Structure 1
């Protein structure tokens, strides 16, 4: 989220070491640019030894950043699959 707009959805698997970002269609190019920034951030965290879930928890409620926005406290939700999350982003 940036400036009150949902840019997309950061996801992590709690059963596998997997994570990603699904851009919101309504965010247009900003959503896709944010996806690139989150991918880089996730790779850095993994290189630092953090699991995807640990990284997500560390980033929650941090100040907004220009390229990634922010993860508001209390915004975590459970989705049955990445496909369901992709449908939500449309």
Structure 2
């Protein structure tokens, strides 16, 4: 009997995936105004923005592409922190305010002092992030 005759039968079985609930998360989209603050690295280069909107229960990280890979990778810890707030049932803008006041445990950047502001839409914030 050759090795070809002894194929593992599991290699031919259909895979059946089951969806399970993931961690609680705020929405990633809104067409309404957003509150935000800027996050910078140790050289004070703005990496991106943390934003929130209560009406759509949305909050997320918006990277600044010109800041390079640090902007995209650095957002992970900010997103994880937002998930912690969502798991505790905290409104997005309350989470934003809390992060703006106390984000010393996030190693990928610091809140730029005085950067808490409002944009007329998420699209406007994305334009700001892209340098437009």
Same fold (TM over 0.5): yes
Q: Which residue of 1 aligns with 2:46?
A: 6
> Which one has a larger percent helix, Structure 1 or Structure 2?
1
Q: Structure 1 CA distance, aligned partners of 2:64 and 2:105?
A: 18
Q: Output the TM-score relative to the length of structure 1.
A: 0.84
Question: Which residue of the other structure, out of 76, 83, 88, is the alignment partner of 2:123?
Answer: 83
Instruction: State the match for 2:70 in structure 1.
Output: 30
TM-score, with length taken from structure 2: 0.60
Gaps of 5+ in 2: 1-39
List aligned pairs for 1:46-57, cutoff 5 A. Answer: 46-57=86-97
**What CA RMSD, in Å, does the superposition of the two structures yield over aligned residues?**
1.7
> Which residues in structure 2 correspond to 1:50-65 (within 5 Å)?
50-62=90-102, 63=104, 65=106
1:1-37 deviation digits (Å, cap 9, x = unpaired): 1211111011101432101111001211111012222
More strand by share: 2
Looking at structure 1, the residues matched to 52 and 45 of structure 2 have their Cα atoms a distance apart, in angstroms, of: 21
Structure with bigger gyration radius:
2
Q: What residue number does 2:82 align with?
A: 42
Q: 1:66 aligns with which of 100, 107, 115?
A: 107
1:45-82 Cα shifts (integer Å, max 9, x gaps)? 11022111111111214337313x12234211111111
Contact 1:61–1:72 (Cα < 8 Å) also in 2: no
